[in-house]
């Protein structure tokens, strides 16, 4: 398989996808649909907090964990609707991770090369 994407005119990633490259797409689809979805970690964290399982954490520890959970749970947002989803497929999460990483990398690249983009 291979990663494929394009860049917008503003030099940000778009159309990120994983191509089967030599793998039978039907076999790949069969494997993918058999993989269980991954639950949004914000759901489990909210349940733990509600049950008092975080009570032994300091405010600083709790707030740091809450921030981390909020950030990672952004991967469970449907890109079209921006709604948080209770679960997502491994492939959807992988694409969103690539998109997030590339967006950040390109932002850093653009910021460090602002004088070249006039």
Please tell me the distance from the alpha carbon of residue 49 to that of residue 69, in angstroms, as a whole number.
12
User: What's the chain's average pLDDT?
Assistant: 88
Q: What is the pLDDT of residues 9-41, one digit of tens each?
A: 888 888 888 887 887 878 877 887 888 999 999
- For residues 32-51, average pLDDT: 94
Higher pLDDT, 36 or 118: 36
Are 40 and 86 in contact by the 8 Å Cβ rule? The answer is yes
Radius of gyration of the chain from Cα atoms? 18
Question: What confidence score (pLDDT) does residue 52 get?
Answer: 97
Question: What confidence score (pLDDT) does residue 40 get?
Answer: 97
Query: For residue 38, what is the DSSP state?
Result: E
Query: For residue 36, what is the DSSP state?
Result: P
Q: What is the pLDDT of residues 63-88, one digit of tens each?
A: 999 999 999 999 999 888 989 999 99
Please tell me the distance from the alpha carbon of residue 54 to that of residue 62, in angstroms, as a whole number.
7
Q: Is it the case that residue 91 has pLDDT exceeding 80?
A: yes
């Amino acid at each position: 398989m291979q990663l494929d994407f394009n860049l917008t005119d503003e030099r940000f990633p778009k159309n990120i996808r994983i191509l089967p490259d030599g793998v039978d797409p039907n076999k790949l689809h069969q494997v993918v649909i058999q993989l269980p979805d991954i639950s949004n970690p914000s759901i489990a964290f909210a349940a733990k907090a509600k049950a008092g399982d975080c009570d032994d954490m300091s405010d600083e520890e709790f707030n740091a964990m809450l921030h981390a959970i909020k950030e990672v749970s952004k991967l469970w947002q449907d890109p079209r609707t921006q709604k948080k989803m209770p679960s997502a497929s491994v492939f959807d999460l992988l694409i969103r991770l690539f998109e997030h990483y590339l967006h950040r990398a390109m932002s850093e690249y653009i910021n460090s090369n602002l004088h070249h983009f006039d």
